[in-house]
Structure 1
Amino acid sequence: MLPSDNSGFHVSTNKMTAIHELTPTLGQQLLQEGCDLLARGAREAAAQVLARARDERDVMLDAHALIEANDLIGSLRNVMGLDCTISGQDDIFGFFRDHHSSRNPLRDYLADGWRTLSELMVLLEAVDQPLLKTNRMLEFASGHGRFTRHLVKALGPSRVVVSDVVPSAVDFLRSTFGVEGFLSTSLPESVQWPARYDLVFVLSLFSHLPRATWSRWLKVLYEAVAPGGLLVFSTHGIKAANFDHVTLDDEGYFFAASSESTAIDEQEYGTTFTSEAFVLARIAETMGADKLVRQVPVHFWNHQDAYVLRKL
């Protein structure tokens, strides 16, 4: 819940942009005007001004938070039918906001989560284990909820559990979406699973892991799956490697100590590319090749390969 002043309108605490600088930007001026209009109860005028502020990248998230919290005209919640609150600490949103190709970072960010939901549902239908019939799932390496908000709309919060190594991410998902959540660790073997899950979904973690922990995370995450359940994970495969002009080593592996995350050490969370042969070899030596029930190249975002393992 966002705090409010005694005028009754909500004020964002998510990295609220300083609006009293000697030479405020256009975005800061619009944000201040919107706040003033809200304080006077002029909701329609405030909505128009804050919609303009939302187009200015330096105050985009602040303006968005005010529009959403006050349920103003132009609220994305009213368009998408789900909670569109975005954390100011969300590195993935920051990636969209700062990327030159993103014309509308808010919509791109929210649509990307919806796209992931549809791609996961297609993958699960192919192995006759539909998402909507999943009793309990774990979204591991969940971040600040790009995908979680869509899962909650599809399954309800009681069937979704999240985990991340960043404390603020887990706290945000618990308080915003009402899901259960627990903190992960840097060392795979130190993770304590509260339960076993019908589906463990790990999107774009193995595309960031160094060689020292790649197989170890695969083993540990497979242990979190209930009998008959599925582990679904994605990787940067050959298409991604070619796109980024990366040369894999003899094993079919490449790691660079760099990523979009500002919260995790780049040596333990960088950018990783793997060949299909590398991934299949790790599956075979870790839990057995017979556990693989489906693999689809460039399935997620037309960029990452998908692998589905079943716990027998």
Structure 2
Amino acid sequence: MDENLTFAIEHLAYGDREEHDTMPVFDSEYYLRSNPDVASAGANPLLHYLRAGRREGRLPRPPAHVQNDQAQAQDAPANRNTEERAVGTVAVEEMEAAAKRYAAIYRVSPVLHSEDHMLAHFLKLSAEGGLGFYFKGGLADAEQLMTTIEKLGIDMDNLRVLEFAAGYGRLTRHLQKLCDLTVSDIHPEAVAFVSKHCGCPTYLSSKEPEQLKIPEQFNVVAVISLFSHLPDRTFGRWLSALYALVAPGGYLIFTTIGESARAINAQIPTPGSDGIAFEAISEQIDLDTQDYGNSTVHPHYVGFQIGRIPGARLVSYHAGVWWKYQDQYVVQKTF
């Protein structure tokens, strides 16, 4: 018998004897809906919960009040307005109370946008599971980025950060409380939304890196999960364009998908001898998949691209430090 299956059966039968509790009722469909990272990795939901999810505080089934709400919804007449706004498959009005609760906990804006690709990715049918991951994960990412910046020895009192490819504010709503923040995104609606609800200066990005118009420089330019989507045709060009926005002595921090991600998702494309593999596949249907898909890169490829930029110095490389899936590179502008 497969050792993974044996592991699951033993825990279902006996529970965790060291913790003196038995295995709670497990809802595989709910677990995958509420944890899109597990679903996208193709992991067995029960095994993931037993080995990691339980320690991480992930729920094995919907909370009692969500189950009750779902039961009531099934019994209620179908009188919902078909014009109702929705994020993913859940009506915005259905999420407002939950969003306000999370926003009060984290002291951030509760406002959500119906075109938020990240929220739609997290949120399937359960407002509680996906929404909680959206808010809590945004805070965790903001804290991780700030910890990285602090370790660089930057003057935190005068820190100016550009968050590039910011989307609809999952990270921004937390990060703007921690630094002097400017954001940029390619979606005009996202730029307008973040400006209004997060109060940050904003710039609209561009399809081609050479067309980017941001007339400022920053101590840190942070690019979380953009280079994991770029083809070879624009990878180095975007690296140069964003490096140009770094003030002398400042840093460009960005993430990529490398071989460390294969432990979670064995299906990621394998780079060839040039060090990059690109698939023209994307959940963001409003973007051309030839420009924005899924890419896997080897460190030597990234190092080569950095080496082509005059004055760029690779300060650090850490594999899998973002969500145990993406690698982080920190590049300093030496002149």
What band does the TM-score fall into relative to the shorter chain?
A: 0.7 to 0.9
| In 1: Cα distance, 2:322 partner to 2:123 partner | 21
Corresponding residue SS for 2:144: helix
Q: Which amino acid aligns with 1:270?
A: G
| In 1: Cα distance, 2:323 partner to 2:128 partner | 18
1:260 deviates by 2.5
Structure 1 spans left out of the alignment, 5+ residues: 1-24, 34-53
Q: Which amino acid aligns with 1:298?
A: G
Structure 2 matches for 1:124-273, cutoff 5 A?
Answer: 124-129=149-154, 132-155=156-179, 159-241=180-262, 243-245=265-267, 246-273=269-296
The CA RMSD measured in Å over matched residues stands at 2.8
Cα 1:99–1:296 change in 2 (3 A) is farther
Corresponding residue SS for 2:176: helix
Per-residue CA distance 1:153-174 (angstroms, 9 max, x = gap)? 222xxx2111111111101100
Corresponding residue SS for 1:216: helix
| In 1: Cα distance, 2:93 partner to 2:143 partner | 29
Structure 2 spans left out of the alignment, 5+ residues: 1-71, 81-85
- Contact 2:270–2:277 under 8 Å retained in 1: yes
Per-residue CA distance 1:75-123 (angstroms, 9 max, x = gap)? 22222211122211100111111399x9700001111111111221232
| In 2: Cα distance, 1:218 partner to 1:58 partner | 36
Per-residue CA distance 1:248-287 (angstroms, 9 max, x = gap)? 1111111111122232111111011101111111111233
The alignment's TM-score, normalised by the length of structure 1, stands at: 0.75
| In 1: Cα distance, 2:254 partner to 2:125 partner | 25
State the identity %. Answer: 32
Question: Number of aligned pairs?
Answer: 256
The alignment's TM-score, normalised by the length of structure 2, stands at: 0.70
Cα 1:127–1:270 change in 2 (3 A) is same
1:240 deviates by 1.8
| In 1: Cα distance, 2:203 partner to 2:216 partner | 11
Show the counterpart of 2:123.
97
Q: Which amino acid aligns with 1:122?
A: T
Corresponding residue SS for 1:128: coil
Deviates more, 1:190-199 or 1:235-244: 235-244
Show the counterpart of 2:51.
none
Cα 1:276–1:191 change in 2 (3 A) is same
Q: Which amino acid aligns with 1:149?
A: R
- Contact 2:90–2:125 under 8 Å retained in 1: no
* 296, 299, 304: which one aligns with 2:321: 299
| In 2: Cα distance, 1:62 partner to 1:260 partner | 24
- Contact 1:215–1:286 under 8 Å retained in 2: no
| In 2: Cα distance, 1:189 partner to 1:28 partner | 56
- Contact 1:233–1:307 under 8 Å retained in 2: yes
